[in-house]
A and B are shown apart, each in its own frame.
Chain A
Amino acid sequence: NAGVTQTPKFRVLKTGQSMTLLCAQDMNHEYMYWYRQDPGMGLRLIHYSVGEGTTAKGEVPDGYNVSRLKKQNFLLGLESAAPSQTSVYFCASSYRRTNEKLFFGSGTQLSVL
């Protein structure tokens, strides 16, 4: 099983450029999440989805948009990248139950110059 796959693994953007991060899971999970990880700040939830066609805001949603048109895919978009969005981005997925563990992708290192 591939589990959770994130693409790309690395990306460098210039301020104002846009990009989309793709997350794909092959475990038929209902829930999917986008996190960002910054030194000294831990993991912060950007957006999440509880099912196909649904999305919701997390702790730090500003500057990001998401879509979940298919159950297995969760896309994170940056419309106009800013240096403050330099971070490592993680996608995760899980089954619906609250005690379920999260399965994580290997992350995307994004630098915005």
Chain B
Amino acid sequence: AQTVTQSQPEMSVQEAETVTLSCTYDTSESDYYLFWYKQPPSRQMILVIRQEAYKQQNATENRFSVNFQKAAKSFSLKISDSQLGDAAMYFCAYRGSQNAGNNRKLIWGLGTSLAVNP
């Protein structure tokens, strides 16, 4: 079974600095999708960034980028120029590529709580 591990329960960063959140996963599949979701204090989860495993190029969304290392099964999130509004819980998630059965489901990590210090 697939698993997702976020080894950093809590992280902190100074405003305007860069921070990297770690995520590793375990799978026997060759094709899959990876996601980072943000959960601010308002509770509503929103997608930050996603990566298709078949793409070698790392995904980027404005100040957010990933370091996807397929062989190492690592999917870290880098937040550049951190802002106070980035303070939130960040969840890493995995989904298999086959759109049937269990592969419809996302496998979630336990989250990393990010604090941004002014």
Interface residues of chain A, those whose CB is within 8 Å of chain B, are 31, 40-43, 45, 48, 50, 58, 88, 90, 92, 96-99, 101-102, 104-107
* Interchain CB contact under 8 A, B103 and A98: yes
- In terms of DSSP, what is the predominant structure of the interface of chain A? loop
* Interchain CB contact under 8 A, A101 and B43: no
> Among the listed B52, B103, B104, which residue makes an inter-chain contact with A31, where contact means beta carbons less than 8 Å apart?
B104
Given contacts A97-B99, A101-B47, A105-B44, contact A42 B91 (CB under 8 A): yes
- Which residues on A sit within 8 Å (CB–CB) of B19? none
* Interchain CB contact under 8 A, A42 and B110: yes
* Interchain CB contact under 8 A, B99 and A102: no
16 contacts between A and B (CB under 8 A): A42-B110, A43-B91, A43-B106, A45-B106, A48-B104, A58-B105, A90-B43, A92-B45, A98-B97, A99-B95, A101-B47, A102-B45, A102-B47, A102-B106, A104-B46, A106-B43
Question: What number of A-B contacts does a CB cutoff of 8 Å give?
Answer: 51
Given contacts A42-B109, A43-B108, A48-B105, contact A104 B91 (CB under 8 A): no
- Which residues on B sit within 8 Å (CB–CB) of A98? 33, 95-99, 103-104
Given contacts A41-B110, A98-B98, A101-B35, contact A107 B44 (CB under 8 A): yes
- Which residues on A sit within 8 Å (CB–CB) of B95? 98-99
| Nearest neighbor of B49 in chain A, beta-carbon distance | A101
- Distance in Å from the Cβ of A70 to the closest Cβ of chain B? 20
